[in-house]
Structure formats: C-alpha cells, structure tokens
Chain A
Amino acid sequence: MITLDNVHKSFGDNHVLRGVNLQVGKGTSMVIIGGSGTGKSVCIKTILGLVTPDQGTITVDGIDVTKTDRDAFLARFGMLFQGGALFDSLPVWQNVAFRLLRGSLAKPRDEARAIAIEKLRRVGLTPDVADRLPAELSGGMQKRVGLARAIAAEPEIIFFDEPTTGLDPIMAGVINDLIREIVTEMGATTMTITHDMTSVRTIADHVAMLHNGKIRWTGPTSEMDAAGDPYVDQFVHGRADGPIASVR
C-alpha cells in the first residue's frame, strides 16, 4: 500500500501540494485527475524521490520512502513518462531492457534482449522495432516502448504519467486497453495521472481528484459520476462553468 500523509511541496512562492493525503491499496489501479498545474506529476515524483517533499511522510508497505535502500526501493517501480523519456542514444531494445542490462537485476545480454522483444510484442510492436532508435518511431510507438520499459522488470508498482497525451483517439484507446490488460495480468499496484476521462474509465479502480494542492475527492470509479462534489462534477463532465476557474 502507498500512503501519502500531509505531503506539502512548494517551488518558491508556488505552493503546489498543500497537504495531500492519499492511500493506494495493493493491487489497485488509482487514477489521479485534476486540472493542469495542480501538482499531479509532482505528487508521483515525491513518491519516487525525484522531488523531495517539504513536509509530510510517504510510505510504501509501511516503510518510509526516505529511510529505505534506494536501489531496492526503485527496483520495485516502473514508470511511463509523459513524453516517453526514451534514451535517444540507445536502440529501442536497450531502452526496454535498460534495467535488465545493469544493476541488481542484470541479466545476460541475449536474455535481456529476448525479454525486451517479448515486452515489445506485449505492447503490440514487432521485433523489427527493437534495433531502431527512438527518434525513428512515431509518438504512439514511443509511448508503447515507454510502456514496455515500465513493465520490463515486472515491477510491483507502476506509475503512468499522462499515458495518452498527444495521441490520436484510436492510439489512446490502444494504450488504455494495454495498460488495463497489463495491470490486470501483472496484479501490479498502479497510479495514473491523466485528464483523459476515457482513460479514467478504462484504467481506474479508484479515482482521486487533486485540486488546489489537496485531494478534493477520492472513491471508486463507479461512484465518480455521482460524487456529489461540484469540482469533480465539473471536471468529469468537462464543463466550463463551475467552481474550477477556467483561467488559472
């Protein structure tokens, strides 16, 4: 279980997180929704230690993330970044197998390559993609390579940062379905950040809405449409009128 307890983070005068409290149960798929700039990415980056919170505690399975062996901790995670964040200088298969080629999870090169190709196949890419460079791929293919990299070491916890941003609706649907399938078959705990309500409905078991630096509402996806919260209602239905200012 991932627990955020009263997490605060500011960048200068910009108070991004103002006391986030959130629990993500083991094996569940939590999706965090919220407007642009509300701190959704910062929220998951604090869990990974990419951003240090100013206040509050974050625990994974009861262990404070700041007081654990960093390599062992990160080995439990996979992450799909918004822009893919593929390493330009490495061919696709080495991007996917990056963790398998070095560190505590290192495997022989041939075995790592075979796993990478199997993961690429899992996300709908053919083996001939393996030796290409990321720059030679379309945006959708790069997202899928990023997804393959996130699952390559079969992590217990996977984060997806805006998995469908910048993709056409068909490719977005493909990515959503892939994430749902992978989450179900791997039994991983996942946190996804998105504005895309189609993604939310496909991926999420639970939804949390982040607004003004705090979790405004959280609950099962089935209750999202009848949350009874005007902020959630406005966001879910994409209305310009409501308590969330359209100019931020």
Chain B
Amino acid sequence: MRFLAAIGRATLGLLATIGRVSLFAWATLTHLLRPPFYPREFGIALLNIGWLSLPVVGLTAIFTGGALALQIYAGGARFNAEAVVPQIVAIGMVRELGPVLVGLMIAARVTSSVAAEIATMKVTEQIDALITLSTHPMKYLTAPRVLAATLTVPLLVGVGDIIGIFGGYAVATGTLGFNAAAYIQNTVDFLELKDITSSLAKGAVFGFIAALMGCYFGMNSGRGAQGVGRATKGSVEAAAVLILAANFVLTGVFFSV
C-alpha cells in the first residue's frame, strides 16, 4: 500500500510540475507579446547566449564531425562502404548531432548561468526590488532571455552543422584520402532542404527549452546558496532531458515514414 501511495505522490508531483512549467511557458509567451519591452536586456541576452556561445559550439562541432568521419570510415570498411563518409557526416551532423549537441552545450552553458543568476537575484531580494520598481520580472528577465535563445540557437545550430561537416571534411581529406572537391560535392548533393529546416527548427525549440528551464528554476529557487545550487542543477537536468525528448518527438514529426 505504501508503495502505491509513493507512486501516486510521485505521479501527482510530476503532473503538478508539468502544470507549473506549462503555465510559466504560457506566461512567458504572453509577456513576449505585450509591452513594455526591454531591448537592452534582449541585446545583452543575444550577446551572452548567441555570440559568446560560438567558441564552445564550434569546438564541440568540429571534434564531433571529425570523430564521426573516423567512425563511419572504420565502420563502413566492414562492408566496403567507406565512400559514404561525406553523406553520413552531413546527414548525421545536420539532422541529429548538430542540433542535439548544440542544445546540450547551450543547456550546460546558458541554462546553468541563467538559473544561477536569477536564483541569486531571488535570494538577494533583487527580484522583489524589480517589482517595487514597477518592473515585471517575467518581462525584464525571462522574456528577453527566452526570445534571444529561441532566435540565436538555430543560428548556432546552423554554424555548428557547417563546422561539424568541415570537421568531417578535414579528417576525411587530411587523413582518409578523400578528394576535397568530391567530398564537398557529395555533401551538397546529398543534403535536402528538409534536413536543414528540421535542424534549425530543432535549434529554435531547444533554445526555447534551455532558456525557459533556466528562468523557471531560477525564479522558483529555494533560499540560500543551497537553493541556488539546487536550482542550477535542476535546470540543467530538466533542460537536457527535455531537449532529448523534444528531439525524439521532432525527429518523428519531420522524418517519420
């Protein structure tokens, strides 16, 4: 009986959390559409989330693309399919690895910093101060960050896709003996518009999730350093899991046969 009660409590807790997150997401969306707007905060968020994430996204993508080329070459050699390296690197990076890895890197870099920043603001009464200064925290803190992430993560995914493909190209032409022009031609010929649009759409969804989780956990953090730590940890865990789950759903939507 206790076991069933525990399952019931956990289920109710999960449903309540889903409800709270959904309401938070809805409130964020409505605040995005209603003035006042804070362009300066939006600009700072664009810089922090987009521009300053480029190095980590670029490094992640280039190593992944290179490793992918080596794996496909070695795996393909088992059934004389080494020649498919350009095609599989392209499709693997653009459809899956690019958006997912960029999403996870953004969860690690951006979600954690947003959650820690907002949680610290809450603990030190800065959120209360914002309210007393007639400034809605959802408008000032959440809306600019979520909008900036939703707009910039697709661009980061696009850049990550290109760099990842370049990583595969560099390894394939540098160490695996592929012809450079043929490699590029195969890559371009094989990719379809749908591959690219799905990649960018995934980026937008992952950016939204990453920023939303950072803001949600920050705004709902507990007291003290422990509260900030828990909010930060929880935000990254939730963002990573939701990104992977959303990736599964979106892949089904775009590519189900």
Contacts and interface: CB of A to CB of B under 8 A. Distances in A.
B249 to A, nearest CB: 36
Interface string B106-135: 000000000000001100111011111111
Contact of A77 (B44, B120, B124, B132): B132
21 contacts: A45-B128, A48-B132, A49-B131, A50-B131, A50-B132, A74-B131, A74-B133, A74-B134, A75-B134, A79-B132, A81-B125, A81-B129, A83-B124, A83-B125, A87-B126, A99-B133, A102-B38, A102-B135, A103-B36, A103-B135, A104-B134
A21 to B, nearest CB: 24
Nearest to B120: A88
Contacts of A82: 125
A93 interface: no
B128 A85 contact: yes
A88 B130 CA distance: 12
A99 B134 contact: yes
Contacts of B128: 45, 50, 81, 85
A68 B36 CA distance: 19
A160 interface: no
A246 to B, nearest CB: 24
B134 A103 contact: yes
A157 to B, nearest CB: 11
Contact of B126 (A49, A78, A79, A85): A85
A71 interface: yes
Interface of A: 45, 48-50, 70-71, 74-75, 77-79, 81-83, 85-89, 98-99, 102-104, 149
A86 B121 CA distance: 9
Given A79-B129, A81-B125, 10 more contacts: A50-B128, A74-B131, A83-B125, A85-B125, A85-B128, A86-B129, A87-B121, A88-B120, A98-B133, A102-B38
A50 B120 CA distance: 17
B132 A74 contact: yes
B134 A85 contact: no
Contacts of A88: 120-121, 126
Contacts of B135: 98, 102-103
Contacts of B129: 79, 81, 85-87
Interface string B193-207: 000000000000000
Nearest to B131: A50
The list of the 10 closest CB pairs from A to B, nearest first, reads A85-B129, A85-B125, A74-B134, A79-B132, A81-B125, A71-B134, A99-B133, A85-B126, A103-B134, A98-B133
Interface centre among B121, B128, B131, B134 (most CB of A within 10 A): B134
Nearest to A100: B133
B27 to A, nearest CB: 16
B178 to A, nearest CB: 48
A75 B36 CA distance: 16
Contacts of B133: 74, 98-99, 149
A122 B126 CA distance: 23
Contacts of A77: 132
Contacts of A78: 132
Contacts of A102: 36, 38, 135
Interface centre among A87, A103, A149 (most CB of B within 10 A): A87
Contacts of A70: 134
Nearest to A49: B131
A104 B133 CA distance: 11
A99 B134 CA distance: 8
Nearest to A95: B129
A104 B135 CA distance: 11
Contacts of A71: 134
A48 B132 CA distance: 7
A115 to B, nearest CB: 15
Nearest to A159: B132
A88 to B, nearest CB: 8
B41 to A, nearest CB: 9
Contacts of B132: 48, 50, 74, 77-79
Contacts of A48: 131-132
Contacts of A83: 124-125
